[in-house]
Structures are given as C-alpha cells and as structure tokens.
Chains A and B, each alone.
Chain A
Amino acid sequence: MVHLVGSLRKELADSLSTCSVLVVGAGGIGCELLKNLVLTGFKNIEVIDLDTIDVSNLNRQFLFQKKHVGKSKAQVAKESALQFCPSANITAYHDSIMNPDYNVEYFRKFILVMNALDNRAARNHVNRMCLAADIPLIESGTAGYLGQVTVIKKGMTECYECQPKPTQKTFPGCTIRNTPSEPIHCIVWAKYLFNQLFGEEDADQEVSPDTADPELAWNPEDTAARATASEKDGDIKRISTKEWARSTGYDPVKLFNKLFKDDIMYLLTMDKLWKKRKAPTPLDWQHLENSACPQEDSPVSGLKDQQVLGLWGYCQLFQHSVETLRSQIQEKGESAELVWDKDDPPAMDFVTAAANLRMHIFSMNMKSRFDVKSMAGNIIPAIATTNAVIAGLIVLEGLKILSGEIESCRSIFLNKCPNLRKKLLVPCILDPPSANCYVCASKPEVTVKLNVHKTVVLTLQDRILKERFGMVAPDVQIEDGKGTILISSEEGETEANNNKFLSDFGIRNGSRLQVDDFLQDYTLLVNVLHTEELERDVEFEVVGEAPDKAPPPQSKPEEVNSITNGNKDSSQPSTSSKEKKNMEKQERENESHSLFIYFISLIWDLF
C-alpha cells in the first residue's frame, strides 16, 4: 500500500532526512535550489560559494537583501534558508570549490552533488571530483529566458567534458591593435589599455600598433624580419606603455594625443592595411576642444547610462577617468596595480571612453556606457523565473536519483517558446559516456600540437594543462624511460623549469607526457606533436579540434545560438591573470551549457 508523506512516498521522504547533499554555488540558481531542497525535506545540506553579494544580484537571488550587500553569499543563503526551516542542518563555506581541502574524501560524504555555477573551470573541476568519488552530479545553467539541467553519473552518462565545448572567443592581436572592425575589438583594446596603464602589464595585451602584422608584408619572411627589427630598435616597444605614461605624469591630454592621434597616424603609414578598408581618422585634442559646443541637457527618459555621448563628451570622460585612476594609483604607491572591475565607476568610465574614441576613429557608431558594460563585463542578463524553473527541475531529478530511478533521469531544456511539439520543457534521454573522452575514458589520452622549441614549461602548465585541460595542480612526468619530472604541483619544486623550452628536456615529436592531478584523481596522457606551423597568436592546438578562431557575429541571446559561452559578446580573455586570480566577482566567464546539446534538443525531442 502506498504510504505518502506530503507528496512523496514514505521511503523517499525518510531518505531525505538522512542523506547529505552538496550545492556548489549560492547565486541565482543556488538560492532557488536551497529553498527547494529545504522545503522538499532535505535535512543535511552543504553549500559553498566564494562570492559576496552585489546589488545587481537582488533582482533574483532572493535569499539576499540590500542590507547583505558585501557579505558572503553562502553564509547569508544559509541564514535565510534556516529562517523557513530552522531544523535543517546547513553548512556554509565561503570558499572556492577548487580548494584542495575539498578532496575526493570530502565529496564522498554526499549522496548527490548539484552545481549552481557560472564558470567552466569550476564545472570541469567538480565534474572530475564527482567522477573520482563516483557520486552523481546534477549540472545546470541559465541565461536570460533559457535554461538546462542534466545528470552526470560515472560510467552511465556523458561527463561534463565528453562533448567539446566551444572555447571563449579570442581575437588576433593585429585586429585589436591595427584593424578593429567591430565595437568589441575596441572594447577589448580599451581593457588592454587599462592594464597597460594602471594594472598588471601583460605581453599578450599590447595596444600599440603592431608592426609585425602579417598583412603588411607581401612575403612572410618580411613579417619576421620586421618583427625582429622592431624588437631590436624598439622605438615603440622599448619603453613600456606604463613607463611612458608615468614619465608624462599620466597627463590625459598627452595620453590622448599619443593613443588617438600619433598612434593612428602611424597606422596610416601602413598603407597596405587600408587598401581595402576604410582608413582610421586621428583625433586632435585641441581641435576638438575648440569646436566643442555646450550640449543642452535634454530630458532623459532612458537610463543615464544608455545615453550615447558626443565625441567631446567621451574626450572629457577619458580625461576625468584618467585623472581619477591616476590618483587611485598614486594613493596606493609606487608599484601599485589596479585590477579592472566593471563595477568600479572610473575603471568602467575609462573603458567606455577609450573604446568609444577608438570606435569613432575607425568609423563605428559609438556605444552607450550601458552597452559597453555588457560587452566589457561579459554580463549575462538574468531573471528570477528562469532560475526558479531550473532549480525546481534539479530537485526533481535529484529525487529520481534518490529513489533509485536514475534511468528515468533526463536532460531537460527550457525554451523561450514552445517547440513544434508544443513543448516548453524538453526532456531528452541522457547520452552514454564518450569513448574518447579525455576525462572519463578509462585511459584518457590526448594529442597536442605545439612547437617544442618555442613553448616554455610555464605555458604548458598554465595555458595547456590548467586552462585548456582544466587541471588545478598538475604533476608532469616525461615518459622518457627515466621518469623525468617536468612539473611538480609542490610549490617551488620545479620553478626553475618554468622558462625553459620543452625541447631543453628532450621533448620532441612523438614524446609522451604523463600528467596527474592528484586532487582530481585524474591522469591524462599527452602526446606531443611538434609543428613549426601554427597560426599567428596560436600557442597550441588540440588535435581533433578546430583551432580557436573568432567566429562570425552571433545572434541575440534569446535565439538559438545563445547558450554557448553564455554571452554573444564574451570577448578575448577579458581578464588579466591578476583579475582571474582575484575571482571575487561573478560573471568571470559566463557560459552556461554546450551548443551541441541545445541544438539537439531543438531538432530531436523524444517525447
């Protein structure tokens, strides 16, 4: 005879009070999820989030109020949830899930893990921890009106990394430095400029004209020669942008004239670039100041930030923001470095102004601060209702798992409009694991194309193993019969190797590297394929994938392509390495789920 406790079978209701579950993330999905778990009868819940509360969260993260701004999300979420169920046992961690304290043993405490994350690195990591601990993981994501939930179970379903996910869009250096054609190129340039002037200088974030642009030469040899020449006589390069700015006392007008007049005039001498493109028009501060007319303040019905200022308006904004940032940096001292933050008004003003001035120079329509902020800050629009639906679905899948009915679990997609079969919510059968998955296959293996004479060990560690392959603390051994240790996860042990080339260690075409991440209980065999022919600005290629390229402009977020990296405008690594480390703010990468799965749901639903 069926015995119900509320809506649930008694056996299920009883198991809820004894099991433990982990919620990773206490933001949009996390708040809704915590509420649902507690009301459904889950008694033992742990929640972790490294973020603090921001006012822009309050439109949907309903466990937080204005008075909580600045506090820990996990902590406040716990306190608010306890309000409506004081008997629940909730533990909150204001911490990163990638902290080694949360090892496989930690994960094994739980019967179920639920992600409520907003970035791929953490998702990859939790994916591996759950595989290692053999615990079911419910993965989810939302963007605007769209959302998705899926279940990951080792050996039974695809893991999070079985399907290649589209990587973050990057732009070639010459596009950013010489020939921008879209507002996003100008915005990326402006963010680089911020770092060069006020933040951590990064060799990959040059803003000056690129004399080694391949377009400039008829012959490839010329390009190489030009590059070497400019490095040698270094008229532009020898002195760093920051040093030069310091020498002028961060004089806004001098900065303006260098960036928006002199450098543009230099670009104009590279006439090959302008044969088929509209040439940029340099700006002159004095001239603009003289011809500026006082603008009448027309009554504004829109948001102040949505106004597009005139050219002189952005000149003034540039000047003011430079002066403000200058005093910020002077207050902090000699070697001070600022970290760009979209919510820091002068930093945002600076990027808005610099990007717009550049857009004007390159004949593009200028953009409001509101729009620039979206693109520069990788903002994904978000509302309460989408998160509410997805969080409800997460719990329902969780209950199936707890009832021992994991075969009835599904991937479920939330559309904006019903599909041809009238479905707004589309359940799909879960796919089995991919045999070639470089994470969950029994002996994961991958082949990487790179130049062993030009790739240094540090690049292998940071760009390839950590960024691309999602490891947190890799240990690398060369399979050379001697077991040579190339990289040790112990701090300091192999630091001396960082700037040496791979070839210095005898690594060549066909070499194999055994890479372990002990925290993730993950071993990956990396086959090295040596090549001298990689595309410009490309450091390595994973064989079996197309090289990272800037795809054509995507459609609006609500349409088909939207839930890829989340935001159509998510640009080149919009972060300095410091900003990445300083992962206190949300919206670091903003992607939700793979394009693949979404397309499949549109064409092929099973019910």
Chain B
Amino acid sequence: MIDTIEKEDPVISEEEAAQYDRQIRLWGLDAQKRLRGSRVLLAGLGGLGAEVAKNLILAGVKKLTLLDHEKVTEDSCRAQFLVPVTAQGQNRAQASLERAQNLNPMVEVQADTDKVEDKPDDFFLQFDAVCLTGCSKDLMVRVDQLCSQHNIKVFCGDIHGYYGYMFSNLGKEYSYVEEKPKVVKAAPDSSDGPEAKKAKVDPNETTMVKKTASFCSLKEALEVDWTSEKTKAGLKKTPLDYFMLHVLLKFRTDKGRDPDPLAFPEDSLVLKQIRDDVLEAKTLSSDLLSDDFISYCFSEMSPVCAVVGGVLGQEVVKALSQRDAPHRNFFFFDGRKGNGVVDYFGPN
C-alpha cells in the first residue's frame, strides 16, 4: 500500500458516497474526508476494543491497526464478536482481522501481535490517534505523554463489569468547528421565501464556528490532589467512578490482570483492600466508595462495552474530523444506573 502525504484526496468515490450517505448527511463531507485520511492505532481487542474497532471501521478511517499480544481463550469468543469460535490459541488481533476487514473493505485494517510496551517510541508517530484498552496505568501514562508531544490524539478506555470509562487527551490547543444556524437578514428579492422578514433564522443555512479546547495529560488527570479543603469541598459533585477507576487500575498493576470471576472471593478481598489503600493515599475516607461496586466490576459486560465503545468511538471520529465539541476529559458509565457522566479531572 503506497502511503501518500496528502491527507485529503478531494474526490469521494461514488461507492463511498453511497455507503457513507447517512453519515455524510450528519457530519458533512469535510468531516468524512478527514476521516478518510486518518490512521488510528487500537490497542487491545477485548470487548471494548472490538466495539471501537467496529465503530471506526464503519466510520471510514483510512487505516486501523489492531495491536494485541494476547491469545484467544474460550472466554474471548463470548466476549467479542470479531473472533471466530474456532480461533482459540491464535493471536487475538490476527483472529479479529478478517471480520474487522469485512465490516468495510474501503478501510485498511492491519493486525500487529506485539506487546504495546515493547513498541519503540517512533512506532506511535505514524498515527493520527491512538486508542488504548486493557493497558496498565504506567503504560498509558507513558504513551499519552509521548503521543501528545507529537500532536497525536490519545484515547484510553476500559470496562469492568457494569462500569466503564473513557479518557481523552487532544492536546493543549485543540481546535475544532461547530455548525451553528445562520442568522440572515433577508435581502428584498432573494433567500428562501418570497415573504421578506426583517431578520430570519433560516434553519437550513448554517455557519461553521471555530473553537478551541485544552486538555491535560493522563498523568495530571489521575494525580489530582485531594488534600486541600477546596478540592475536598468539590467531592460532592465528583463522580465516584473516578476513584473506582484508580482502584481497578491499581488491581491491574498489582496483579497483572483484571478481577477474575473464577477467583471472586479472593479478588473481592483484594479489591476492598486496594480501595482502602487508594483512598487513604488520597487522604480521603474509605467510606467514600462503598463495597457495593465490588461484585459488579468483574469481566467485560457486552452491553457496557457497546455503550462505552459507542461514546469512545464517536469521540475519536469527532477528534479526527475536528468537528463538534469533544467531551472533556473523562466519560464514566454506570451500567446499573444507566448514568453517563462527562467530567474534567486535572489542573485548572
């Protein structure tokens, strides 16, 4: 495949126009062209990864690289829909490749079986956006720092039972456009109607307004200081999912895996302990996060993957097309309550 430098090939083929018709009518042709020129790295092909892969491939990115060193287990087949039931023992990225490619032959889909942590820095530089699932906290922090230095957009996400989150870092100065209705003064003999009115908002005419937003690093987002009275006062409005995320990331770091339903009793105790440790380290009371979440944070629930994968996928699409306000900078989903919250964590 010959890579050309130009981001946007001006001509959309008839095939693309027909297939992408319903989304071009939503986000416009310019956005579709930008997607068409984008290269994305997706790490982790678990339940969430498969959802994100599907969403990005259907959206019509130029290239999607599926990076996963894990092997397909019996559980993997139940967990995601890209891996055939016969693929046990194969590499997860490779096993997902065929179905992923069939979702949209116009996208170049590639499988890479390496570990994320083994990739050299310059590996990441070929992408416009990087999406990390199933990675340890340290790895995510490292990749986030590296990518944002090079203006590569970073996304992270994970699912733990009924709970899920996504994080994004689009850089210190991310600019995008929003489509707003145009307010026009009707000229006497033109515009969309013979009845001239003084000033008319024509619902069909819109204008693009430029905006900017600033994002902090994952490191800064995770290391918010809760010791001061001021931040403690803000706790009431803070989604507890944020702290739950810390607990689950620490579990992953300490144990090298996620909580396992087959080890439910032992892992529950570990989770409780980690909850106490994490909150204590943040000088917060362990009452803040009750035990309740523990029995609901095991494994990856398919519908929760679908919800978070949908939101995350759309954030990637928005960022690549630089259109519409990005969620800043976390999205937390509680599948038990049906609550989906966007909140910012980081320095002001």
Which residues of A are interface residues toward B (Cβ below 8 A)? Answer: 1-8, 32, 35-36, 38-41, 55-56, 58-60, 62, 65-66, 83-86, 144-145, 181-183, 277-278, 299-306, 362-365, 370-371, 374, 379-389, 391-397, 399, 410, 412, 414, 416-418, 422-425, 427, 553-557, 568, 607
Total A-B contacts with CB atoms under 8 angstroms apart: 235
Interface residues of B in 1-23 (CB under 8 A from A): 10-12, 14, 17-23
Enumerate chain A residues within 8 angstroms of B83, measured Cβ to Cβ. 84
- How far is A40 from B300 in the complex, measured between Cα atoms in Å? 10
- How far is A496 from B47 in the complex, measured between Cα atoms in Å? 61
Q: Mark B175-216, 1 if CB is under 8 A from A, else 0.
A: 000010100000001111111000000011010000000000
Enumerate chain B residues within 8 angstroms of A38, measured Cβ to Cβ. 81
Q: B335: nearest residue on chain A (CB-CB)?
A: A396
11 new A-B pairs (CB below 8 Å) besides A7-B301, A58-B104? A7-B261, A40-B303, A85-B78, A380-B22, A381-B23, A384-B59, A388-B54, A392-B302, A424-B327, A553-B203, A557-B26
B317 within 8 A of A: yes
- How far is A389 from B204 in the complex, measured between Cα atoms in Å? 28
Interface residues of B in 68-85 (CB under 8 A from A): 75, 77-85
Enumerate chain B residues within 8 angstroms of A8, measured Cβ to Cβ. 301
Interface residues of B in 289-313 (CB under 8 A from A): 295-296, 298-307, 309-311, 313
Interface residues of B in 310-348 (CB under 8 A from A): 310-311, 313-314, 317, 324-325, 327, 331, 333, 335, 337-343
B204, B301, B306: most-surrounded residue (chain A CB, <10 A) = B306
A-B contacts, 25 of them at CB < 8 A, read A4-B298, A4-B299, A5-B261, A6-B301, A35-B302, A39-B302, A40-B303, A62-B54, A84-B84, A299-B10, A306-B29, A379-B22, A383-B27, A384-B59, A388-B51, A388-B307, A389-B306, A392-B305, A395-B303, A422-B239, A422-B343, A423-B341, A425-B333, A425-B341, A556-B206
Q: A381: nearest residue on chain B (CB-CB)?
A: B26
Also in contact, A65 and B338, with CB within 8 A (given A6-B298, A39-B80, A385-B313): no
- How far is A424 from B324 in the complex, measured between Cα atoms in Å? 15
Q: Mark B17-55, 1 if CB is under 8 A from A, else 0.
A: 111111111110100000000000000000100010011
Q: A415: nearest residue on chain B (CB-CB)?
A: B340
B102 within 8 A of A: yes
Q: A380: nearest residue on chain B (CB-CB)?
A: B22
Also in contact, A392 and B306, with CB within 8 A (given A35-B81, A40-B301): yes
Enumerate chain B residues within 8 angstroms of A568, measured Cβ to Cβ. 203
- Within the complex, which residue of A4, A84, A414, A553 is in contact with B81, where a contact is CB–CB below 8 Å? A84
Q: A414: nearest residue on chain B (CB-CB)?
A: B340
Also in contact, A59 and B162, with CB within 8 A (given A86-B85, A422-B343): no
Is A389's CB under 8 angstroms from B307's CB? yes
Chain B nearest CB from A7 CB (Å) reads: 4
- How far is A251 from B304 in the complex, measured between Cα atoms in Å? 60
Is B85's CB under 8 angstroms from A303's CB? no
- How far is A59 from B190 in the complex, measured between Cα atoms in Å? 37
Also in contact, A277 and B195, with CB within 8 A (given A39-B302, A381-B23, A424-B340): yes
Q: B190: nearest residue on chain A (CB-CB)?
A: A365
Is B338's CB under 8 angstroms from A39's CB? no
B26, B83, B310: most-surrounded residue (chain A CB, <10 A) = B310
Also in contact, A36 and B303, with CB within 8 A (given A6-B261, A84-B81, A381-B26): yes
**B: interface residue count bin:** 35 or more
- How far is A364 from B196 in the complex, measured between Cα atoms in Å? 11
Also in contact, A4 and B303, with CB within 8 A (given A39-B81, A385-B310): no
Enumerate chain A residues within 8 angstroms of B24, measured Cβ to Cβ. 303
Is A388's CB under 8 angstroms from B310's CB? yes
Q: A299: nearest residue on chain B (CB-CB)?
A: B10
Enumerate chain B residues within 8 angstroms of A607, measured Cβ to Cβ. 337, 339
Q: A182: nearest residue on chain B (CB-CB)?
A: B193
B161 within 8 A of A: yes
Enumerate chain A residues within 8 angstroms of B270, measured Cβ to Cβ. none
- How far is A191 from B181 in the complex, measured between Cα atoms in Å? 28
Is A303's CB under 8 angstroms from B22's CB? no
- How far is A559 from B36 in the complex, measured between Cα atoms in Å? 27
Q: B337: nearest residue on chain A (CB-CB)?
A: A427
Enumerate chain B residues within 8 angstroms of A144, measured Cβ to Cβ. 26
Enumerate chain A residues within 8 angstroms of B331, measured Cβ to Cβ. 424
Enumerate chain B residues within 8 angstroms of A36, measured Cβ to Cβ. 302-303, 306
Enumerate chain A residues within 8 angstroms of B333, measured Cβ to Cβ. 425
Is A427's CB under 8 angstroms from B23's CB? no
Is B58's CB under 8 angstroms from A59's CB? yes
- How far is A393 from B305 in the complex, measured between Cα atoms in Å? 11
B269 within 8 A of A: no
Q: A60: nearest residue on chain B (CB-CB)?
A: B58
Q: A40: nearest residue on chain B (CB-CB)?
A: B302
The 6 lowest CB-CB distance pairs between A and B, nearest first, are: A425-B340, A392-B306, A278-B194, A381-B26, A388-B310, A39-B302
Is B55's CB under 8 angstroms from A384's CB? yes
- How far is A392 from B305 in the complex, measured between Cα atoms in Å? 8
B103 within 8 A of A: yes
Enumerate chain B residues within 8 angstroms of A416, measured Cβ to Cβ. 324
- How far is A395 from B327 in the complex, measured between Cα atoms in Å? 25
- Within the complex, which residue of A3, A83, A383, A424 is in contact with B342, where a contact is CB–CB below 8 Å? A424
- How far is A388 from B52 in the complex, measured between Cα atoms in Å? 10
Enumerate chain A residues within 8 angstroms of B82, measured Cβ to Cβ. 84
Q: B188: nearest residue on chain A (CB-CB)?
A: A278
- How far is A464 from B179 in the complex, measured between Cα atoms in Å? 41
Chain B nearest CB from A538 CB (Å) reads: 24
Is B314's CB under 8 angstroms from A385's CB? yes
Also in contact, A385 and B55, with CB within 8 A (given A2-B295, A423-B340, A424-B331): yes
Also in contact, A427 and B338, with CB within 8 A (given A40-B301, A84-B81): yes
- Within the complex, which residue of B25, B81, B338 is in contact with A393, where a contact is CB–CB below 8 Å? B338
Is B295's CB under 8 angstroms from A4's CB? yes
Chain A nearest CB from B131 CB (Å) reads: 14
Is A58's CB under 8 angstroms from B81's CB? no
- Within the complex, which residue of A306, A382, A553 is in contact with B22, where a contact is CB–CB below 8 Å? A382
B256 within 8 A of A: no
Enumerate chain B residues within 8 angstroms of A41, measured Cβ to Cβ. 78
Enumerate chain A residues within 8 angstroms of B341, measured Cβ to Cβ. 418, 422-425
Enumerate chain A residues within 8 angstroms of B305, measured Cβ to Cβ. 392
Enumerate chain B residues within 8 angstroms of A410, measured Cβ to Cβ. 337-338
B105 within 8 A of A: yes
Enumerate chain A residues within 8 angstroms of B342, measured Cβ to Cβ. 418, 422-424
Is A7's CB under 8 angstroms from B300's CB? yes
Enumerate chain A residues within 8 angstroms of B192, measured Cβ to Cβ. 182-183, 364-365
Enumerate chain A residues within 8 angstroms of B204, measured Cβ to Cβ. 183, 371
- Within the complex, which residue of A7, A391, A557 is in contact with B162, where a contact is CB–CB below 8 Å? A7
Chain A nearest CB from B123 CB (Å) reads: 27
Enumerate chain A residues within 8 angstroms of B161, measured Cβ to Cβ. 7
Is B311's CB under 8 angstroms from A389's CB? yes
A4, A384, A397: most-surrounded residue (chain B CB, <10 A) = A384
Q: Mark B277-298, 1 if CB is under 8 A from A, else 0.
A: 0000000000000000001101
Enumerate chain B residues within 8 angstroms of A145, measured Cβ to Cβ. 26, 314
Enumerate chain A residues within 8 angstroms of B77, measured Cβ to Cβ. 84-85
Is A84's CB under 8 angstroms from B55's CB? no
Chain B nearest CB from A583 CB (Å) reads: 19
- How far is A144 from B28 in the complex, measured between Cα atoms in Å? 12
B23, B81, B189, B191: most-surrounded residue (chain A CB, <10 A) = B81
Enumerate chain A residues within 8 angstroms of B190, measured Cβ to Cβ. 363, 365
B55, B301, B327: most-surrounded residue (chain A CB, <10 A) = B301
Also in contact, A392 and B296, with CB within 8 A (given A302-B29, A555-B181): no
- How far is A303 from B19 in the complex, measured between Cα atoms in Å? 13
Chain A nearest CB from B304 CB (Å) reads: 7
- How far is A410 from B335 in the complex, measured between Cα atoms in Å? 12
Chain B nearest CB from A376 CB (Å) reads: 13
Also in contact, A7 and B105, with CB within 8 A (given A392-B306, A410-B338): no
Also in contact, A388 and B55, with CB within 8 A (given A4-B261, A56-B22): yes
Chain B nearest CB from A14 CB (Å) reads: 15
